[in-house]
Structure 1
Amino acid sequence: MPQTSAQVTAAEISRIAGVTRATVSNWRRRHEDFPAPSGGRESSPLYDLEAVRAWLASRGQASAASPSDELRTTLRLHTWESGGGTSDLLLLALGAARHPAEDLTAAVRLPDMDLVAHAERDAAAVSGAVPGGDTVHFGAIDAAVLRALYVCVRDEGAQAAVSVLATRELEDSAVTGAYRTPEPLADLLARLIPGTPARVLDPACGSGSLLTAAGRRGARELYGQDVLTVQARRAAVTLMLTTPEAEVTVRAGDTLRADAFPGLLVDAVLCNPPFGNRDWGHDELAYDPRWAYGVPARADSELAWVQHALAHLTPGGYAAVILPPAIAGRASGRRVRAELVRSSALRAVIALPAGASVPLHIGLQIWILQRPEPGGAERKSLLFVDTAEASVSGTGAGSTSATVSARTRSASRSASVDWTAISERALRAWQAFLADPDAFEGEPGIARAVGVVDLLDDLVDLTPARLVQASRGAIDPAELAEETEAARRDLVEAARALGEAAGYEDWRAAGPAAREWRTATASDLARGGALTLLRTLPEGARGRGGDGDRGGEGSDGAELAGQPVLTASDLSAGSGPTGDAADLRTESAPVIEAGDVLVRAVASGSGPAARVAGEEEAGALLGRHVHLFRPDPARLDAWFLAGFLGAEENLASASTGSTIRHVSPGRLRVPLLPLEEQRRYGEAFRRVYELRAEAQRATRLAEETARLLSGGLTGGQLLPSRDAGPEAAARVRGGDSPH
């Protein structure tokens, strides 16, 4: 039953007020009238929600929570009897998405009993398409939850509501190991499948990311299965929202033990299966006909998933499966790997950099498989691609420096993943190999075709990093020497520019205490006309209303082709637009103008989070993971705005999520200062940005130069100077030779 008194934690208060946890702690200490704890423990007290809201209102602190935040908080505050649950509300999100915004507003205003009946009708209209949908009822669910859900669907779209609901259900079920495949990785897997497959299966579909990517590329029959009912429901709802023209069939159940689609043959299989599961049914499935390439060992559940994927393919059909790197060389899987290689069922192995997907500390692999066709052509080689260094910003995909970087890789996990470079490298090699495997020349240190006979040794080790090393000698020494000298000259120039940027000294203390000021949220400033919020939304999504946040202004679908796109990676790297308009998948996107403030939509990550667009960015399209703030220059200085919007504390207080923290742009706060004072701050922020940009450039060039030199020396292309002994080093330092 609903709680008689809703209670919230300090963290939830910070989200409601749009401030940090530290600010809430200060309020508790400094204001005697702050509501006293009404429950919880001394270390984690709970507060009465209505009392907190009344206190905030008395101080003029309007709620900064977005509709999805309000839905998340409302779910936290209300419980209900068994027979109804969060996963049931997924149906309501799908049903509500069929209505226009005015109908949703009318539903929110209904009395409680009428609202419950209305919600049950909306859910019943789509119940047949979702696993377990015929058992849904909302009689025990508090009407406040239903209202919050309708508002979230109306203002942020059904996908935002689905994400909140599924996350809440997973928390309630104490499930671990359920992670969403990153969208760029899902897109890469879908693009690795040749042609346009009509029927696609994901036997471990999770939230439906891979099937959604397949639907975007034209698949018209989508089949999915997941062991978690809430994930199966979420996938079904997501697919029906994002690919309404496709036929969607999703089932709940243990795929390996109880295949929901026996006998189904599809054109393609995409899969990101669970890793390291020893309880996958090894004993009971020992004689399963799917194991055409050998019975997987108990420790090799991944090879069971590989063979399950092959069993569901039509002859000649392709599968792309994400696997941990250990499966490529583990001794227990040698016989199965050997048979996959010998039969030509395995066509390619692509290594990804660490951080591409969970688990973030290891570099995963993509195995591309093809079910052999009876009487098909003999295949003599496999493709191996190593993209581990494609995530290093500023490295050209086809340059010699990229080649050497791939051979002298860094194990740093902090480098941001450059999906554009990774996808370009993987697709370029795979498509060239597909076109003519026998004539494929590869790229030194990046891609190599290895003969089947050469792989069938005692280990059958299919690790790309090991196999592409053999191509290192193909780099031309003269070309590498020229590349190294150019990089060294660039580094010297970058060091000079960094010194100039660091030479500014006009900073002074604010006084005995830090300065304080009144602030306003970006939503408030947008409503007052001081700025406009823009973003690029996926095709068919709705933007939030009421806070100036709009999507897709500035270009239509016919104009997108060929235009550059500024991505979140470009912001982090300080580079110009490098994205491809074809990846936006939207009918329209905002066009960036000089003076716009650009902010990353994900709070985590290295590099600057915000900057002011210049002439280089003007005319480019806005990437999907970037927020655009267009200030009125008569009221807001652009660099002043960028400096405060990109502040770490500001981003933290306006973010939601744990592993990936998404920034709610309307909740970001800006000090209310006179324009002349804004300009002084703006000039200071511009200098800080230049300092960071020059430091990034110098660091990048230093790393590149060091890689070129080290790789050239160890690879035999470069020779050390004849004067490279200790005496020469001492002369350079201006001292004596050490003894």
Structure 2
Amino acid sequence: MPQPSAQVTAAEISRIAGVTRATVSNWRRRHDDFPTPSGGTESSPLYDLVDVRAWLGARGHSATADPAEELRTALRLHPRATGLTGSLLPLVLAAARRTPEERRELAGLSDTGLIAYADRAAADLAGLVPGAEAVRFTGPDIDVLRALLHCVQGDGTGETALTVLAERELEDSSVGGTYRTPVPLADLIAQLVPGPYEQVLDPACGSGALLAAAALRGARVLCGQDAVPVQAQRTTVSLLLAAPEADITVRVGDSLRCDAFAELTVDAVLCNPPYGDRDWGHDELAYDSRWAYGVPPRAESELAWVQHALAHLVPGGHAVMVLPPAAASRASGRRVRMDLVRSGAVRAVIALPPGAAAPLHVGLQIWVLQRPEPAGPERKSVLFVDTTEAAGGGDRATAASAATATGTRGTRSALDWPSLAEAALDQWSAFTESPDAFTDEPGTARAVPVVELLDDVVDLTPARHVRASRTDIAPADLARETDEVRLRLIAGAASLGEAARYTDWSAAGPSPREWRTATAADLARGGALTLLRTAPESRESGGDASTATLPVLTGPDIARGTAPSGAPGSLRTDSAPLIASGDVVVRAIAGGSGAMARVANAADEGALLGPQIHLFRPDPARLDPWFLAGFLGSAENIAAASTGSTIVHVSPGRLRVPLLPLEEQRRYGEAFRRVHTLRAEAARATELADETARLLAGGLTGGGLIPSPPPATDDKEPGIGSA
């Protein structure tokens, strides 16, 4: 019997077509030929997917569909989507290995032809993916196959398709805490291993980001294991695409309970293990030979992973691990930490700011470990680094909103990753070159003698050890610095007062003004503006020498109203647009404080457009830039044009702009410019006030500053130290 057609909701139609829910509602009201509901209820109708696609295709809307959302919808509607991932992952590998021209040819195949190709590809490649089996695809699979091919065509790498397939499988399982390691963090971890390394192991490989980063550093033997089958499968496909020349071995299983590489020792172990797992095998592994530094308590699964990593290293090999801050200070792990420190296995602990990786509300830590060598050099100190200040002053709500809570989708934060990585790597390089001659940097880095760490708590929290003291600064220098900041605060307060004098506005009347609007997509099609965006980041450099040193405008720069402060880093500088004065820049991820949009000025001229930013280049003869920025960045507009719950992405084409004469636009534009100035001056004054108060309080408590003596008087009041 023929399979019944799938049914979709209005929300899914909006995602398939790349429009807002409101647009779908308008279509239903205005077009008599819009598909009639085929199910559901009056308040939540369902529509036949075949009819919807035919209607969209007749109007050209299908071309704007988000490939990832199309694949998600196809998987949800598939009658046997659960368990289908293992069959589809080899197809991602097959499609991503083909050229764009070959993929276009595949897309043009008939349903029968595409199914036959999928059968052959699945049979040929199933042996490369752990747990995958050759299958026979049938007619009901065609929608998923075409959506999968479209998704691979969209990014050319297959990573988006891998992410969608993995998240679907994880949603159908009871697995939790499957956080994905962000690419910038993975790259930093791979660089923290000193010198070249050939063999690398990740015993909790997840999506394979750490192994891929190691491959970029020259590792050619990549070994991974993960307890979640779809994670191991995804890692395999991802590595086969990213490092086709490498020797890749990925296994399914719990590394602590069932180590697939029990006899293997490698040059480096990179790992972002699961956190807070009390069911990690404490009782059954109590006498395991890996616990060379003490049996990890039941609540210390992280210290079990640390010792597992050390057990797989050759003498002198390094392990770099991402751990929660509690692992550095929990009382239950004190004895294990003590033996790790005493033996010299702990080389450095680097604190990351919240938002660097999931869970986003926690400031995670990177532990750099080294397996002691017999008769090797004595390790007298441990390096502690706090990268919080180097990561930039952007609010952490913005940083956290840039990554998912589930960790099954890609993450990118608003942190200044180039500065963070530079701070960590510079301090670590200086320490490894000469630990005894390392120069401390108060507030950022300190080499602490091992003997100082072996106290009653063995607390390895970086903030505890690098905390700056005002006693480290000469009193005269401290007084001069405080006075300079205080004078800037006075000037900033005067500027804020001047900005607050703006009163050139009045009530609109008894009711708010209404106007006709057009979407940014409509304005772009009409030539009133051009919409630009930086291409997705790539692990392979796409830049050139002419742009590698240019500053990059970041989301926090827009939020704070400051000049471009980012560095190119892994940005594809060959595809990043250069900002021109008069461009309107809008943050692509909503959330946090500060402005969502502003007009680029002379300070922004020539800078590179950073990731997660939309650039609108208006025709000045038709659109006033500040008028455009004011309405594009309004809270109501951003909310209406955004999708997502944990990460709120702004769809630029859905933003709406009132249709007003140019002269009236300019009046609004001047008002919005003054509002932007007010916000920027307020943020600057707040920052200066905080800095002034910090310097004063620290100077007074540290003894570098003293209160001025009172006017001469015969009366003296007793104090704490009075006789």
Does TM, scored on the shorter chain, surpass 0.5? yes
Partner of 1:453: 451
How big is each residue's C-alpha offset from its partner over 1:421-473, in whole Å with a ceiling of 9 and x where there is no partner? 43333223222221211122311232221111122222222222222348553
Distance apart, 1:339 and its partner CA? 1.0
- Closer/same/farther in 2, CA of residues 472 and 675 from structure 1, 3 Å limit: same
Partner of 1:497: 495
Query: Is the contact between residue 394 and residue 556 of structure 2 (CA under 8 Å) also seen in structure 1?
Result: no
Distance apart, 1:380 and its partner CA? 0.8
Count of residues in Structure 1 that have an aligned counterpart in Structure 2:
693
Distance apart, 1:527 and its partner CA? 8.5
Matched AA of 2:66: S
Partner of 2:505: 507
Partner of 1:220: 220
Matched AA of 2:450: V
- Closer/same/farther in 2, CA of residues 130 and 57 from structure 1, 3 Å limit: closer
- Closer/same/farther in 2, CA of residues 428 and 364 from structure 1, 3 Å limit: same
More displaced, 474-483 or 673-682? 673-682
- Closer/same/farther in 2, CA of residues 533 and 586 from structure 1, 3 Å limit: closer
Matched AA of 2:461: T
Partner of 1:440: 438
Matched AA of 1:461: D
Q: How does 1:456-605 map to 2 (within 5 A)?
A: 456-469=454-467, 473-509=471-507, 512-522=511-521, 525=524, 530-539=529-538, 556-584=543-571, 589-605=576-592
Q: Percent identity?
A: 64
Matched AA of 2:462: P
Alignment partners' CA distance in 2, 1:716 and 1:294: 44
Partner of 1:131: 130
Alignment partners' CA distance in 2, 1:319 and 1:87: 31
More displaced, 208-217 or 31-40? 31-40
Residue among 682, 686, 695 paired with 1:708: 695
Matched AA of 1:441: T
Query: Is the contact between residue 15 and residue 70 of structure 2 (CA under 8 Å) also seen in structure 1?
Result: no
Query: Is the contact between residue 520 and residue 672 of structure 1 (CA under 8 Å) also seen in structure 2?
Result: no
Q: How does 1:692-703 map to 2 (within 5 A)?
A: 692-703=679-690
Distance apart, 1:323 and its partner CA? 1.2
How big is each residue's C-alpha offset from its partner over 1:122-172, in whole Å with a ceiling of 9 and x where there is no partner? 444443332223434433752112112212221333222222222222212
Alignment partners' CA distance in 2, 1:61 and 1:130: 36
How big is each residue's C-alpha offset from its partner over 1:583-636, in whole Å with a ceiling of 9 and x where there is no partner? 326665433333333333333343323333322222223333333344444444
Residue among 674, 690, 698 paired with 2:677: 690
Question: Are residues 1:331 and 2:331 paired?
Answer: yes
Query: Is the contact between residue 65 and residue 667 of structure 1 (CA under 8 Å) also seen in structure 2?
Result: no
Alignment partners' CA distance in 1, 2:492 and 2:452: 46
Partner of 2:97: 98
Query: Is the contact between residue 201 and residue 269 of structure 1 (CA under 8 Å) also seen in structure 2?
Result: yes
Give the alignment's TM-score, normalised by structure 1.
0.84
Distance apart, 1:44 and its partner CA? 6.1
Query: Is the contact between residue 528 and residue 623 of structure 2 (CA under 8 Å) also seen in structure 1?
Result: no
Query: Is the contact between residue 313 and residue 371 of structure 1 (CA under 8 Å) also seen in structure 2?
Result: yes
- Closer/same/farther in 2, CA of residues 134 and 444 from structure 1, 3 Å limit: same
Distance apart, 1:242 and its partner CA? 3.3
Alignment partners' CA distance in 2, 1:581 and 1:81: 40
Distance apart, 1:16 and its partner CA? 4.4
How big is each residue's C-alpha offset from its partner over 1:255-292, in whole Å with a ceiling of 9 and x where there is no partner? 11112222222222111111111111112222222111
Alignment partners' CA distance in 1, 2:415 and 2:128: 36
Query: Is the contact between residue 539 and residue 587 of structure 1 (CA under 8 Å) also seen in structure 2?
Result: no
Secondary structure in structure 1 of the residue aligned to 2:590: coil
Distance apart, 1:59 and its partner CA? 11
After superposition, the CA RMSD in angstroms is: 3.6
- Closer/same/farther in 2, CA of residues 70 and 260 from structure 1, 3 Å limit: same
- Closer/same/farther in 2, CA of residues 365 and 435 from structure 1, 3 Å limit: same
More displaced, 532-541 or 493-502? 532-541
Alignment partners' CA distance in 2, 1:245 and 1:639: 52
Query: Is the contact between residue 533 and residue 576 of structure 2 (CA under 8 Å) also seen in structure 1?
Result: no
- Closer/same/farther in 2, CA of residues 507 and 433 from structure 1, 3 Å limit: same
Secondary structure in structure 1 of the residue aligned to 2:212: helix
- Closer/same/farther in 2, CA of residues 297 and 11 from structure 1, 3 Å limit: same
Secondary structure in structure 1 of the residue aligned to 2:310: helix
How big is each residue's C-alpha offset from its partner over 1:495-539, in whole Å with a ceiling of 9 and x where there is no partner? 222223333233345563452424235387258584142313334
Alignment partners' CA distance in 2, 1:315 and 1:209: 25
Distance apart, 1:649 and its partner CA? 4.4
Residue among 420, 427, 430 paired with 2:428: 430
Query: Is the contact between residue 18 and residue 654 of structure 1 (CA under 8 Å) also seen in structure 2?
Result: no
Alignment partners' CA distance in 2, 1:239 and 1:605: 35
Matched AA of 2:611: R
Distance apart, 1:308 and its partner CA? 1.0
Alignment partners' CA distance in 2, 1:347 and 1:619: 42
Give the alignment's TM-score, normalised by structure 2.
0.86
Secondary structure in structure 2 of the residue aligned to 1:580: coil
Matched AA of 1:161: A
More displaced, 117-126 or 174-183? 117-126
